[in-house]
Amino acid sequence: MNWLLLIGLVFAKPTGKVVVVGRPLTKMAGPLAGAKVTFTLDVEMAPVDGVPMSRARRAQTRVELKPVAGPMQQQTAQILDPDACRFRVPLQANWQEGARVELHLIVTGDPLPTKIQALLPPGAKLENEVWILTAPKGDLVVDLPACG
């Protein structure tokens, strides 16, 4: 296989569909004190005309919201769309000042793509394999390489 083609695949931007995995958190009543968000992406690499391409078998979010007042709320969402190359997980909400959001990003598959790029809201910090966000003002965006 041509090495230039392989290098191009590593740096290629996704050209397939963009999908939103989960409901907007901005519709939640009252301010939120924190949350735990788990995004799981199951991918596979398969040759298309002899070129290795990645595709998503399944994308899933699980959100546990902690309102300032009231019981904890849970949301789950799943997308089964092999044409999707960019995944957006809504994180913007009516956060209480200093609200702590734990973001778990799990990628599974065999074999795994060369590099999956996650674009996190500003201020994200990695602590023990968990991304910590403080009252996030943006969404999580995950791009599959060599997709589309």
Model confidence over 39-52: pLDDT tens digits? 999 988 877 788 87
Model confidence over 70-95: pLDDT tens digits? 889 999 999 888 788 899 999 999 99
Q: Model-level pTM?
A: 0.82
Q: Is the pLDDT of residue 13 over 60?
A: no
Per DSSP, what are the bridge partners of residue 17?
Answer: 84
Q: What angle do CA 91, 58, 5 make, to 5 degrees?
A: 100
When pLDDT is averaged across residues 99-121 and rounded to a whole number, the result is 85
Query: Exposure string (b/e) for 7-29, b if CB count within 10 Å is 16 or more?
Result: eebeebebebbeeebbeebeebe
Q: What is the mean pLDDT of the chain?
A: 83
